[in-house]
Amino acid sequence: MYYRDHRPPHFHAIYGDYEVVVNTENGVIEGRFPTRAVRLVLEWYDVHREELMEDWLLAEQRKPLQKIAPLE
């Protein structure tokens, strides 16, 4: 997530030269990623959806974001 970013709430995922934007409200992905990487990002999103929305609200308020654990 980036401060001063546009709505809807989302996060950016980067894998090598690829980048996608994932909507935190519905999981819709914009951009291109290898299939396996998409599955991993969506799995991580499903586990951390609430934390992502909390971080989005913090980002809108220009407050420090909470760390979110990686996929194990």
Query: Number of structural domains, the chain?
Result: 1
Question: What is the pLDDT at residue 70?
Answer: 93
Q: For residue 35, what are the domain limits?
A: 10-60
Residue 69 falls inside a structural domain: no
In a domain, 71, yes or no: no
Q: Which residues lie below 8 Å from residue 17, measured CB to CB, with a gap of 6+?
A: none
pLDDT score recorded for residue 5 = 82
Q: 20 has which bridge partners?
A: 13, 31
In this structure, what DSSP letter does residue 72 have? -
Tens-place pLDDT, residues 2-40: 877 888 999 999 999 999 999 999 999 999 999 999 999
Does 50 map to a domain? yes
